[in-house]
Amino acid sequence: MAKILIVDDAAFMRMMVKDALTNGGYTDVEEAVDGADAVEKFKAIRPDLVIMDITMPNMDGLEALKAIKQEDADAQVVMCSAMGQESMVIDAIKSGAKDFIVKPFKPDRILSTVSNIIG
């Protein structure tokens, strides 16, 4: 089963994504609270997929994405953004993100994105 890392500074958002994944059969799910935490956890657990918010304190999602891609060029990362963050999403895709999910999340969108990337 795929190992997935969820990164968001809002515990509620992490819970929503985790619930969607768990209900979809993905049970090996870890969490990180910001970009710096994400990079450390990525190095430690080597997840198959990272689902990461763009806007976070300490280290934002774009910085974390770049650090993760430096660590592993093949890392699979999906970015999460609120409406109105189109330029950040474009930067994320240019930096190697595989896809993006717009908040507020819809569980079927999360699962279809995960399925498209890691099966």
- The enclosing domain of 106 has a CATH number of 3.40.50.2300
Cis peptide before 104 (omega within 30 of 0): yes
Structure tokens at 45: 């657990």
Mean pLDDT of the chain: 93
Task: State how many domains the chain has.
Answer: 1
**Structural domain for 76, as ranges:** 3-118
pLDDT value, residue 103: 85
Q: What is the pTM of this model?
A: 0.94
Structure tokens at 4: 């997935």
Q: Is the pLDDT of residue 81 over 90?
A: no
